Structure 1
Amino acid sequence: MSESAVATKSTRAKIDLVDHALTLIIVCLVGLVMNTVGPKIPLADGFMGMVVIYVISLVGLALTRFAPFYLPSVAWISLVGIVATLPGVPGSEWVVAQAKSVNFLALATPALAYAGFAIAKKEIEVAKHSGWKLALVACFVFLGTYAGSVLVAELILRLQGV
């Protein structure tokens, strides 16, 4: 067996669906609070949307674990979401209507905050050794991202005649 096939097999075996399901419940509850507080979407509307996203995520994780070929979980979850919302698929209008009541930024904010806190020792060591060079590159990345966003926004506003 090739090394990548062994790595893929061991990666699939490590997916604990119960653990992921419990973690997703916590993530969905935090997302539901953020969805209600931030964009002020009614709790009942956001709850059903979050349940739909939860089910799509669990189906994608189950496919990652049990499908006859390997794809990363993010790919399976995305495919399940795409198929569930395709026109012509039974119930797709309902799934889309429920998912519309979940604000993406309300979900992304706690996830990005957690990612910011989840810095490993290795990243800290890299930052210590890189020093001023890393800070300089970060400044250029921030400046470039900001300038790119400004240009795109300006172009869209001009095209709309604002």
Structure 2
Amino acid sequence: MNPSSTGAVADPAAQEQKLSLAEHAVVLVIVCAIALIANWAGQGTALLTALPGMLIIYAIVMAGLLLTKVMPFYLPSVAWVSLVSMAVTLPVTPGSEWLLGHLKAINFLSMVTPVLAYAGLAISRQEVSIFKASGIKIVLVSLLVFAGTYLGSAVIAQLML
């Protein structure tokens, strides 16, 4: 049955525009730069000390994204990036000790903040239109959920401390 005849929304993934490999590369450079600054601010690691590790991460991610584009079967890019990163850091892989030595300068928790901030800001047009259609109801529900979660966490923290 045709989704448009039933009034159902078509697959959002099919409607969204995919980034090219070059666009991914540019966005990744920006994210890596922000992550380097976050690593410096959070851990105090000098930018030049962490730069080789960040370049390694950049190369691994780009290799995973390239595999996503060229492989004859579908596997999400996060899976390809994970497979590449595991393959190059295995103890049997030549040069893995050198890679891991440079990657030790990167605090991966400090990278989470800019990446999650970008993910939160990178909403599609369809999500914005859904938000507009929902109106004040979704804002009210969101505020109540956030407030309830915060208050629940505060109560549990007070009881445990």
The 8 Å contact of residues 35 and 110 in structure 2, kept in 1 or not, is answered as yes
- Cα separation, 1, equivalents of 2:23 and 2:153: 36
The 8 Å contact of residues 38 and 110 in structure 2, kept in 1 or not, is answered as yes
- The residue aligned with 2:73 is 69
Q: Are 1:80 and 2:84 an aligned pair?
A: yes
- Cα separation, 1, equivalents of 2:72 and 2:142: 43
Cα 1:65–1:118 shift into 2, 3 Å: closer
- The residue aligned with 1:46 is 50
> How do residues 23-42 of structure 1 correspond to structure 2 at under 5 angstroms?
23-42=27-46
Identity of aligned residues (%): 41
- The residue aligned with 1:129 is 137
How far the C-alpha of 1:128 sits from its partner, in A, is 2.2
Q: 40-49 vs 129-138, which deviates more?
A: 129-138
The 8 Å contact of residues 127 and 134 in structure 1, kept in 2 or not, is answered as no
Cα 1:142–1:79 shift into 2, 3 Å: farther
- The residue aligned with 2:3 is none
- Cα separation, 1, equivalents of 2:75 and 2:155: 36
SS for the counterpart of 1:137 is helix
The 8 Å contact of residues 15 and 65 in structure 1, kept in 2 or not, is answered as no
Q: Which runs of 5+ in 2 are unaligned?
A: 1-10
Q: Which runs of 5+ in 1 are unaligned?
A: 1-6, 155-162
- The residue aligned with 2:121 is 117
> How many residue pairs get matched?
141
- The residue aligned with 1:4 is none
Report the TM-score when normalising by structure 2: 0.72
SS for the counterpart of 2:67 is helix
How far the C-alpha of 1:102 sits from its partner, in A, is 0.9
Q: 98-107 vs 128-137, which deviates more?
A: 128-137
- Cα separation, 2, equivalents of 1:67 and 1:16: 15
- The residue aligned with 1:3 is none
- Cα separation, 2, equivalents of 1:145 and 1:131: 21
RMSD, matched Cα: 2.9
SS for the counterpart of 1:38 is helix
Q: 55-64 vs 130-139, which deviates more?
A: 130-139
